Homo-oligomer: A and B are copies of this chain.
Amino acid sequence: MKSAIEELESKGRAAKAAAHRLANLSTDIKNKALQNISRLLITNKGEILAANKIDYQEAEASGMSAAMLDRLMLDESRLEAMAQDMLTIAALPDPVGEIFEMRTQPNGLQIGKKRVPLGVIGAIYESRPNVTVDISALCLKSGNAVILRGGKEAVRSSGALTGVVREAAVSAGIPDGAVQFLENTDRSLVDHMLKMSHVIDLIIPRGGAGLIKSVTENARMPVVSGGIGVCHTFVDASADVDQAVAIAYNAKVQRPTVCNALDTLLVHSRIAGRFLPMVAAEWAKAGVEIHGDKSVIGILETQSGLNLVPATEEDWGKEFLSLVAAIKVVNSLDEALEHIERYGSGHSEAILTEGYQAAMRFVNEVDAACVYVNASTRFTDGSQFGLGAEVGISTQKMHARGPLGLKELTTYKWIIFGSGQVRS
């Protein structure tokens, strides 16, 4: 292990040296790098897909689930989508160098803030190889170096993609060393990476709850974590029933395996009798299993074709990541707010209502990264929010909340232009 750790430290030094130069690179050079990545993803597709095929076959042979295999798999259309994403990020404004809140103090000092990169980002992720490209691109555009540690199952795919990214970056004039990749997926190297606070300014864990917990507990540098979404949608007494059915259907069914999908539906008792049979019938078509409280069971038990079981205490506050939803009937907006405060994970929460006061109270009082009125929580996403892409979704309150794009990979420094001022 000693030499592997030395190699990691050496990658860290290279990343730090590159970060120093990256911080003051022109937007033109950074955009050129992204355009090069876009092009090389297509021209090198043979090599990338061949590497991915080996990863895929090994993963399949080792018994990986179909859902995980789908995350791992690359094909031409996925590469083309990645190539297009690079151009989208290139077209976004460069956050670095923005000067803001500049003002002249009474003593003549000109004081303001200048937006600067964080430095070196560490990314620890699982089996989706596209994360390699997304995070590299967002880091480069925001002037940060990056050290990537992807999942073992995708190591060949991620290695091939990193090769493309590095070649594209260097040929555009990005300093060599800006994108580092750990080919060695030994677990102890992750442990060491989490101690490298002398090099890494921010760690982003992207994956399941176990990975996030382990990184958060062990990292010696700041971590932006999240992704765990226990998402509630509250159907208020005054909701438009048809719209509410469509939104609840979309939030649960459109892509049930992701963090912004609906977990618990809270339904006002005055609308439950009308709304529940309708949503249950729609959900039944998609195979959704309903874990309902007593009131829900009372309303739905005679309806045929449902997959309906009584809810237990464990269902509240659970992230299902599958076609399962909990439903609870509440008697007031206050009861819904209390439930969300108690069981929510601070990710995405929605109210469906035609009542102005209820909408405003919900928006003002719910403490979560994203609070919706009359829309599906599935929109919590960097692209959907107009950030181009995201390195993750933060459910913490410090630094940045919700989808993390280019600006969230920066900080600022105060800059002060004087003319001989001293303090009295």
| A-to-B contact residues, CB < 8 Å | 20, 23-24, 103, 105, 109, 111, 114, 116, 118-119, 201-202, 222, 240, 243, 246-247, 249-251, 254, 341, 359, 363-365, 367-376, 378-380, 384-386, 396-399, 401-402, 411-424
Contact = CB atoms under 8 A, between A and B. Distances in A.
A98 to B, nearest CB: 13
A364 B24 contact: yes
A369 B423 contact: no
B254 A372 contact: no
B254 A398 contact: no
A211 to B, nearest CB: 19
A117 to B, nearest CB: 9
Given A371-B413, A375-B421, A398-B411, 7 more contacts: A109-B379, A222-B222, A222-B398, A243-B420, A376-B422, A385-B414, A399-B399
Contacts of A371: 413-416
B370 A418 contact: no
Given A397-B118, A398-B399, A398-B411, A370 B240 contact: no
A367 B143 CA distance: 14
Contact of A247 (B116, B412, B422): B422
Q: Describe A's contact surface by its main secondary structure.
A: mixed
Contacts of A370: 413-416
A373 B420 contact: no
A381 B319 CA distance: 45
7 contacts: A20-B365, A222-B398, A240-B420, A246-B422, A371-B415, A376-B418, A398-B399
A367 B116 contact: yes
A333 B396 CA distance: 40
Given A371-B415, A414-B369, A386 B254 contact: no
Contacts of A414: 369-371, 380, 385, 401-402
Contacts of A412: 401
Nearest to A375: B418
Contact of A396 (B105, B109, B222): B222
Contacts of A420: 240, 243, 246-247, 374-375
Most B C-beta atoms less than 10 A away, residue of A119, A384, A413, A417: A413
A20 to B, nearest CB: 8
A373 B246 contact: no
Contacts of A376: 418, 421-423
A254 B422 contact: yes
B119 A413 contact: no
Most B Cβ at <10 Å: residue of A251, A374, A411, A422 = A422
Given A222-B396, A422-B247, A372 B416 contact: yes
Contact of A417 (B111, B243, B373, B411): B373
